[in-house]
Amino acid sequence: MRGIPSLITDIRKKVFTEVARMAYAGGDYTHAEDLPYVIVPGDQPLHRESIFLERAIAGERVRLAMGLGIRPIQTRSLMTEGMDAAAIAEQYYEPPLVNIIPYACHACPTNQYRVTESCQNCLAASCQKVCPKGAISFVNGKSFIDQSKCIKCGKCAKACPYHAIIHLERPCQAACGMDAIGSDEHGRAVINQDKCVSCGQCLVSCPFGAIVDKGQIFQVIQSILKGDKVIAIVAPAFVGQFGKHSTPGKFVTAMKELGFERVVEVAVGADMCTIEEAKDFLEKVPAEQDYMATSCCPAWHSMIYKLFPSETKKISMTLTPMVFTARLMKKQYPGCKVVFVGPCAAKKLEAIREDIRSDVDFVLTFEELQGMFEAKEIDFADLPDSDVLNEGTAAGRGFAVAGGVAKAVADLAKQEHPDLEVKTARAEGLRDCRKLMMMAKAGKYKGYLLEGMACPGGCVAGAGTILSVEQAQKVVQRYQTEANTASPLESPYRDVGEKLD
């Protein structure tokens, strides 16, 4: 649904904007109780049966945007419950990151075949003939499927000459490549957190906006207002996300108006990652291991740990571009705070790992950053260009699109060893990533570099993006052509990565 304006995207933007506005006003979080009335004004509901329900949902969205958990519906508590502990610049995320607001869930049907009005009551009755369980009969001149007998084989849908039988799936469940979404006793969706890798694909697939991830907008702004030197490191997928006027130069100007001390592109870290990952691959494959999996996508990384524990040692030990860039900033600007700005929900969990949380202080998605721009009423059309981001190479910027990581590593290895063939295989979406790993575990990819991206399309399809995937891919590709240099070997930081690892 990304790239398609909707009531859901409007509400998300309002929540992020009002939380940011409250933070910039001085951080008095007691005003949070008023925000549901600002987000849902008037006395008539916009889309649900009750305005009180809409405001209750908005209240939970505000809490989640501030990094707090959902309140239990069975007991009475203030919306500001726990905010005194969360409304500080040093607050980290506490799992679970991705949450379902129960009373916002529509309890959508799960995995059903249904007959539509297109049924013609035809004499052939093919749907009935092919059903192995006798689950289909004629009722009131139409085919009818007895759900208690149906085994969801889909033969009826394939046999119908009018395509009158459709397959219904719960959108969030269909989008989850980890099969982590089930149902509670009321038919509402629930997340099995033991399976979830926080890719956020369920979040962007729910047409009722019931699934929400936690945020740190309030905490980032508190850090800025406190006087910290806050540096934004920005994933290459940022380009074009904030409208047609948001050139890289104007984006830097806008970020400084928000209070950020400096803006650096994470493509710099991607270049370091490329160099170290190519070195890792050349040293270990096939001498020490059959294949190597890339390390960049945190949800892919987590999926391997959860489902293929025997294969975890075959993941590259190279740091991710986010961590490389963050460590570079901490080294160059001691005492600074680092905010990763990107498209990914899973990066929020990566950033709170014990070995990383001292490097990356905060994580914001593009959607959340858009709320900050709205709160400060920043119009990109009126902004002057600032220093253009020009240190990342074309290869590093290409990490944003599926296939970009493997291509960068393979191209670099080829550049240094012209006679070497680097075989690569990749998958997009966690279901396909699982298939890729099953084949790798079975020995089908000996000598290969494997790239997995949890989001179909790559980072440009992350849960925190604004543009449609197709648009984002095009602008990133154009951004690559605008890079001053092509290869990571031309990066001014080509020899820095090893020292930061």
Count of Cβ atoms closer than 10 Å to residue 84 Cβ: 10
pLDDT tens-place string over residues 384-432: 998 788 999 999 999 999 999 999 999 999 999 999 989 999 999 999 9
The 3-class SS string of 334-367 reads CCCEEEEEECCCHHHHHHCCCCCCCCCCEEEEHH
Look at residue 27 in the predicted model and tell me its pLDDT. 75
The CA distances from residue 500 to 222, 281, 324, 395, in Å, are 29, 19, 7, 20
Look at residue 74 in the predicted model and tell me its pLDDT. 86
- Average pLDDT on 9-22 reads 96
Confidence of residue 91 (pLDDT cuts 50, 70, 90): low
Confidence of residue 120 (pLDDT cuts 50, 70, 90): very high
The answer, yes or no, to whether residue 41 has pLDDT greater than 90, is yes
Q: Which of 28-37, 172-181, 283-292, 310-319 has the lowest mean pLDDT?
A: 28-37
- Average pLDDT on 306-325 reads 97
- DSSP symbol at 142: E
**What is the distance of C-alpha 214 from the center of its chain?**
12
Distance CA 479, CA 467 (A): 15
Look at residue 342 in the predicted model and tell me its pLDDT. 98
The answer, yes or no, to whether residue 1 has pLDDT greater than 70, is no
The answer, yes or no, to whether residue 5 has pLDDT greater than 90, is no
Q: What is the mean pLDDT of the chain?
A: 94
pLDDT tens-place string over residues 51-85: 999 999 999 999 999 999 999 888 888 888 888 87
Is the CB of residue 199 less than 8 Å from the CB of residue 177?
A: yes
The answer, yes or no, to whether residue 223 has pLDDT greater than 70, is yes
Q: Which of 3-7, 48-52, 318-322, 475-479 has the lowest mean pLDDT?
A: 3-7
Q: Which of 79-88, 149-158, 295-304, 393-402 has the lowest mean pLDDT?
A: 79-88
Q: Domains of the chain, with CATH numbers?
A: 7-107+172-218 (3.30.70.20), 112-168 (3.30.70.20), 219-500 (no CATH)
The answer, yes or no, to whether residue 306 has pLDDT greater than 90, is yes
